[in-house]
């Protein structure tokens, strides 16, 4: 009964005219940046953070969430039609989706991608609604020791699931943790890592760092790559959208599996929706009667991953909304957005801001419905966007970023920091280091330290508090198991396969 009253509260919030508008803006923006290669949801959300400050908190979160799952839809459009993955999560969609398009079946591929995503989005929204309340109840019993262990597990999972070298992922996390320690320590009031610079004593700000490392770095590397030319355009060949009965029959089980897999992976820290789509593709290929069809236009290869990435995008909100712990860099940005609004992320959000919590949850369903409408009939328009030359796009993006960061605090040093973070992000890209673990380390770092020290203060310096609390002990044991599993050679190979497949 509680669930129903909560959902009806959510419906009343999400269906208010303002919030429908924010949701639509988010979904449109998301589709737009999903279609445009080289502008991802992380960069976009990072760049929009200062603007959200002027919006009401609920509207801001609804819009940012719309950008995130909207990008999952938009990305598949270009993947299928132009063979350019607009998003990391639609890389696998290129394989079979584009093959289908070449066979003149772009319409059914697009329809299945959109409908599969919609189905996954609906299911995942229900999962978010059902799972959140018990999780919040559990989280309330959490003390500093339990939180610390949970964050350790989260960071370990980030390493396990990160792309590329685990050593680099660990290095990035530690670097992020280190950056988070800059500034005045709340336990002792000591200034750390500030090198006597007053502008550092408040610590490094999240927005300039995120905007630089993700946004600016992406712009720099796009400029370096230059504009992709001579892409084959199949947009004009989209004729019938309707999939055949055989298509639907083949896709439906794949959609179900993708939704399930995506929902689980989305909750895990560090597992991006990209991992979800890769995992789903691998699964579909493995259980198919004739795996050789994959890569040549198998509709399951579109249906599964597209459902999985969208389900993952939705369920990744669960740990963020209930525990205040981000499971990926987009969620880290969401936490940043909440803090800018003066909302302390954590289990209190559901209780103190029920309208915000349930409004955002319901808006995800609304947004998904909007996206089906935005995407299917308007596909031609979206694809034409690829004709806008990047040299016109990036100066305006840069300018908006600079204004945004400055307006946050009226501090020129923040703009300099953003620029510095941009250079850092570019260097990291060149070194093959993922910026996502860096950002997660940054967000979790000082929370972890605070909880560690708080736990130690409460136990009067006795570290056994971390293992005598059963919850904390289980979480730490899980972290250890994950590390062991990761270093096992067979798993290493499997992971490489999963990530590189």
Binding residues (CB under 8 A) for another protein: these are 53, 140-144, 184, 186-191, 198-202, 340-342, 344, 346-348, 352, 409-411, 413, 450, 453-454, 457-458, 460
SS3 (DSSP) at 203: coil
Q: How many other C-beta atoms lie within 10 A of the C-beta of residue 306? A: 40
Q: Say what the alpha-carbon torsion angle 460, 463, 465, 466 is, to the nearest 10 degrees.
A: 150
8 Å CB contact between 332 and 68: no
Q: Minimum CB separation from another protein for residue 352, in Å?
A: 7
Q: Minimum CB separation from another protein for residue 154, in Å?
A: 17
Q: Minimum CB separation from another protein for residue 357, in Å?
A: 14
Nearest CA to 79 among 330, 390, 305?
A: 305
Q: How many other C-beta atoms lie within 10 A of the C-beta of residue 461? A: 8
Residue 136 or 238 with smaller CB distance to another protein? 136
- Alpha carbon distances (Å) from 304 to 81, 97, 311, 314, 457: 18, 11, 11, 16, 49
Residue 187 or 497 with smaller CB distance to another protein? 187
Structure tokens at 186: 């709340």
Residue 141 or 488 with smaller CB distance to another protein? 141
Residue 188 or 292 with smaller CB distance to another protein? 188
What DSSP string describes 75-104? HHHHHHHHS--SSGGGHHHIIIIIHHHHTT
Residue 122 or 455 with smaller CB distance to another protein? 455
Q: Minimum CB separation from another protein for residue 169, in Å?
A: 27
Q: Minimum CB separation from another protein for residue 460, in Å?
A: 6
Residue 3 or 344 with smaller CB distance to another protein? 344
Q: Minimum CB separation from another protein for residue 341, in Å?
A: 7
What DSSP string describes 438-471? HHHHHHHHHHHHHHHHHHHHHTTT-TTHHHHSHH
Handedness of CA 78, 79, 85, 87 (dihedral sign): positive
Residue 187 or 296 with smaller CB distance to another protein? 187
Q: Which phi and psi (to 5°) does residue 344 adopt?
A: -80, 110
Q: Minimum CB separation from another protein for residue 356, in Å?
A: 14
């Amino acid at each position: 009964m509680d669930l129903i009253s909560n959902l009806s509260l959510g419906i009343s919030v999400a269906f208010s005219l303002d919030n429908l508008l924010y949701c639509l803006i988010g979904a449109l923006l998301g589709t737009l940046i999903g279609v445009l290669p080289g502008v991802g949801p992380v960069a976009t959300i990072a760049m929009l953070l200062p603007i959200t400050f002027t919006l009401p908190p609920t509207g801001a979160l609804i819009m940012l969430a719309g950008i995130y799952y909207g990008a999952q839809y938009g990305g598949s459009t270009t993947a299928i039609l132009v063979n350019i993955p607009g998003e990391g999560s639609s890389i696998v969609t290129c394989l079979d989706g584009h093959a289908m398009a070449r066979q003149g079946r772009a319409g059914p591929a697009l329809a299945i991608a959109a409908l599969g995503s919609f189905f996954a989005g609906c299911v995942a929204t229900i999962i978010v609604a059902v799972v959140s309340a018990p999780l919040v109840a559990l989280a309330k019993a959490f003390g500093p020791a339990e939180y610390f262990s949970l964050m350790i597990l989260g960071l370990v999972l980030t390493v396990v699931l990160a792309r590329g070298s685990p050593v680099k992922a660990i290095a990035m996390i530690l670097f992020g943790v280190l950056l988070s320690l800059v500034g005045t320590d709340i336990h002792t009031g000591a200034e750390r890592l500030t090198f006597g610079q007053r502008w550092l004593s408040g610590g490094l700000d999240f927005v300039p760092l995120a905007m630089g490392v993700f946004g600016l770095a992406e712009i720099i590397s796009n400029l370096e790559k230059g504009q992709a030319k001579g892409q084959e355009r199949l947009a004009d060949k989209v004729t019938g959208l309707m999939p055949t009965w055989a298509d639907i029959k083949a896709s439906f089980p794949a959609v179900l599996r993708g939704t399930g897999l995506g929902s689980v992976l989305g909750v895990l820290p560090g597992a991006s929706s990209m991992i979800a789509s890769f995992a789903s593709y691998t699964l579909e290929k493995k259980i198919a009667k004739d795996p050789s069809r994959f890569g040549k236009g198998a509709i399951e290869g579109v249906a599964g991953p597209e459902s999985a990435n969208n389900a993952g995008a939705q369920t990744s909100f669960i740990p963020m909304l209930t525990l205040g712990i981000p499971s990926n860099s987009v969620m880290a940005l969401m936490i940043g957005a909440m803090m800018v609004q003066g909302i302390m992320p954590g289990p209190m959000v559901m209780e103190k801001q029920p309208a915000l919590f349930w409004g955002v949850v319901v808006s995800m369903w609304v947004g998904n419905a909007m996206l089906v409408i935005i995407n299917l009939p308007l596909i031609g328009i979206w694809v034409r966007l690829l004709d806008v030359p990047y040299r016109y796009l990036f100066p305006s993006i840069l300018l908006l970023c600079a204004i945004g960061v400055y307006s946050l605090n009226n501090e020129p040093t923040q703009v300099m920091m953003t620029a510095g973070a941009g250079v850092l992000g570019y260097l990291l890209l060149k070194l093959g280091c993922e910026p996502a673990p860096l950002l997660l380390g940054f967000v979790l770092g000082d929370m972890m330290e605070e909880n560690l020290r708080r736990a130690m203060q409460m136990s009067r310096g006795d570290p056994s508090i971390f293992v005598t609390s059963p919850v904390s002990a289980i979480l730490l044991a899980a972290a250890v198991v994950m590390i062991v599993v990761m270093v096992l050679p067979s798993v290493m190979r499997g992971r490489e396969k999963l990530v590189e497949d």
